Amino acid sequence: MSAAEELAFETLARTISDRAGLTLESYKPKCLKRRIAVRMRACGVHTYRDYASVLDRTPAELERLRDALTINVTRFYRNPETWNALRRRVLPDLVEGRQGRVRAWSAGCSSGEEPHTIAMVLADELERRDRGGWLERVAVDATDIDRESLLRAQAGRYRTEAFNETPPDLLQRYTEAAGDGRLVAERLRALVSVAALDLGEGRAPHPPYDLILCRNVVIYFERPMQERVFNLFVDSLAPGGYLVLGKVETLFGPARDRLAIVDTRERIYRRPA
């Protein structure tokens, strides 16, 4: 980074500290820059100075940045009611109808808790039907823009607290103790393919998908970008495939007209077969 850029970054960091009420000194500079870069990309600006003027003009952006800086948050079985609805209303049809050939995508997977939860609930669904042998037909793509998070996703090893919401039987059957944390079982890790992908690129890794989860990600995007991403998801779904958004995210635009609602509260949608 040039001296001028470094200076612009310091000025921006001071503005953020003052206006967002965050003590940025408590963040690692590398982590801070990475998070700010994610927001800059979402706003379509390339310099710290331009981003500072976006912050000046748009109060909502300050909120999003604050969220972005504090979102190292994800966990296994996050929002249990969503996973319970998925297991009750979606998975039985998916695994039987496709004889276990289920292709899923966790878009914005962070450190991998979500894609590994997908692998767990699919394994559970198959094993309860005596179809454990079909597990090798399952594929879960896990993508995120943040390469450091992806390294953790790849390792599949987590602190015990990451599983606080996980049903005990899933925890016991699909993870094992590893040092002071837990490791996701090898047979599940083998199903999850981790890759870097910026959703702004407008492409999916390996469509068509039977199940796409994109939760707590689009909330940080501007509306036109949200609309593009929603269209990408619908285009990437197989006929009869399902899309799940985060609990505070709402589908709108042309994508909304192309999907049927399965569960309004849990934000589960389906592409007609």
User: Whose Cβ is closer to ligand SAM: residue 78's or residue 270's?
Assistant: 78
Nearest by Cα to 255 from 212, 197, 216, 206:
212
Contact region for ligand SAM (CB under 6 A) — 24-32, 52-60, 103-111, 253-261? 103-111
Judged by CB under 6 A, the residue of 77, 83, 125, 149 near ligand SAM is 149
Binding residues among 181-220 for ligand SAM as defined by CB under 6 A = 198-200, 215-217, 220
Q: Which residue is nearest to ligand SAM (CB)?
A: 74
Q: What is the DSSP string of 30-67?
A: HHHHHHHHHHHHHHT--SHHHHHHHHHH-HHHHHHHHH
User: Whose Cβ is closer to ligand SAM: residue 50's or residue 165's?
Assistant: 165
How far is the CA of 104 from the CAs of 71, 163, 210, in angstroms?
24, 21, 6
How far is the CA of 46 from the CAs of 12, 42, 126, 216, in angstroms?
13, 10, 47, 24
Contact region for ligand SAM (CB under 6 A) — 14-22, 52-60, 139-147, 248-256? 139-147
CA 34 – CA 169 distance, rounded (Å): 37
Within 8 A by CB and 6+ apart from 56, the residues are none
User: Whose Cβ is closer to ligand SAM: residue 200's or residue 207's?
Assistant: 200
Tell me how crowded residue 89 is: count the other CB atoms within 10 A of its CB. 15
User: Whose Cβ is closer to ligand SAM: residue 8's or residue 38's?
Assistant: 38
The answer to whether 108 contacts ligand SAM (rule: CB under 6 A) is yes
CA atoms within a 13 Å half-sphere pointing along the CA-CB vector of 149: 25
User: Whose Cβ is closer to ligand SAM: residue 74's or residue 166's?
Assistant: 74
User: Whose Cβ is closer to ligand SAM: residue 196's or residue 261's?
Assistant: 196
Judged by CB under 6 A, the residue of 73, 151, 178, 261 near ligand SAM is 73
The answer to whether 74 contacts ligand SAM (rule: CB under 6 A) is yes
Which amino acid is located at 89 in the chain?
R
CA atoms within a 13 Å half-sphere pointing along the CA-CB vector of 133: 1
Judged by CB under 6 A, the residue of 43, 145, 162, 244 near ligand SAM is 145
CA 35 – CA 22 distance, rounded (Å): 14
Residues forming the site for ligand SAM (CB under 6 A) = 38, 71, 73-74, 78, 108-110, 114, 144-146, 149, 198-200, 215-217, 220, 246
